[in-house]
Amino acid sequence: MTRDVRAADAHAARERTLGGMYAFTAYLLWGFLPLYFLILAPTGPWEIVAWRVILSLVFCALLLTVTRNWANVWRILRTPRLVWLTVLAGGLIYINWQVFLVATLTGHVIETSLGYFINPLVTVLLGVIVLRERVTATQWVALGIAAVAVIVIVVGYRAFPWIALALAFSFGIYGLVKKKIGPSVDAVSGLTLESLWLTPIAIVQLVAVGLTTGITMGQVSLAHTLLLLCAGAATAIPLLFFAAGARRAPLTVLGLMQFVAPVMQFITGAWLLGEPMPTERWIGFGLVWLALVVLTVDSLRNARRARVVASDVGAVT
């Protein structure tokens, strides 16, 4: 019996480690996305998002065919509630993608990183407003510091951080919708349907681009065409890694890993692309990072407390 318990514990530990590696890989890939989209020049943000939607649908359809999981999609389509939730999720991720691409390709990579730094704080705020979750005093302090950071950026930098807030809230609400969907929709089926609902918008965008600046797919070089064709995989693969990690890793690990992508985006914008970082922006970012430290410490403390309670209960039983 002891040997079986040890084997189960070892398996659980391996799964947690594997989950952490999957999550880290997902956020690492997301962190490289600005550089990937920048090398797609002269393709503009509207064309990239359109191809991203269409090619994501193609990639997921091939994946569902290979894994023989189309039955999951048909099951979801027979449930109106799930269908409408995937429509809502698709609309939110479209807003996130489009804002991210426009910002990245117009010299605002640093502000995209700010959006994903703010995202965990927005998630807490949405939990309070929408899910009526209880918030600790420490979490309120973190939210207060983040609010001050936004005010500092608005007043000192004389620019409203609409890109950062649009990214933070669109992805935060997207996560909330995914939470509502729950395990009823797997990652591949969910992305397939989200891409399907967005395909008409993508086609309209391609027509508009073709009538104005012109479609670049197949018009620049073979290397450019191949890179653009990878947009679907570049969208789907990190999501699949994240889904695999989320099933295995504790929430505290996922919470810590999510800072990998915005840190890489900040480094890309500030040091590789040389975007301006005046004093006001450093102060604003510093306050956001302070809020995240407060939130992370509170999360780790709560996780440790939960483990102690669980071990005590296990000892009693």
Instruction: State pLDDT tens for residues 162-206.
Output: 999 999 999 888 888 887 887 788 888 988 999 999 999 999 999
Instruction: Say yes or no to pLDDT of 312 above 60.
Output: no
Higher pLDDT: 239 or 197? It is 197
Q: Is the pLDDT of residue 239 over 90?
A: no
Per-residue pLDDT, averaged over 262-272, amounts to: 88
Question: In this predicted structure, which of 56-65, 162-171, 239-248, 305-314 has the lowest mean pLDDT?
Answer: 305-314
Torsion angles phi and psi, residue 290, rounded to 5: -65, -45
* Residue 122 in this model has a pLDDT that exceeds 60: yes
- Burial label, 23 (beta-carbon count in 10 A; 0-12, 13-18, 19+): buried
pLDDT at 57 over 90: yes
Contact 166, 294 (CB under 8 A): no
Number of domains into which the chain is organized: 1
Query: What is the pLDDT of the chain when averaged over all its residues?
Result: 84
Q: Report pLDDT for 147.
A: 82
Contact at 8 Å (CB) between 253 and 20?
Answer: yes
- What mean pLDDT is predicted for residues 201-215? 95
Torsion of CA 190, 193, 197, 201, to 10 degrees: 80
Identify whether the C-beta of residue 184 lies closer than 8 Å to the C-beta of residue 64: no
- How far apart, in Å, are the Cα atoms of 215 and each of 8, 43, 48, 67, 281? 55, 8, 10, 33, 37
- pLDDT at 311 > cutoff 70: no
C-alpha distances out from residue 135 to 49, 82, 153, 284, Å: 37, 29, 26, 24
- Of 38-47, 89-98, 262-271, 289-298, the range with the lowest mean pLDDT is 289-298
Instruction: Provide the pLDDT for residue 306.
Output: 60
Residue of 249 and 5 predicted with greater confidence: 249
**Residues 6 or more apart from 310 whose CB is under 8 A from it?**
none
CA angle 129, 131, 133 (to 5 degrees): 85
Q: Domain limits at 21? A: 2-316
* C-alpha span between 195 and 187 (Å, rounded): 12
Q: Residue 261 above 80 pLDDT? A: yes
* More confident call, 131 vs 160: 160
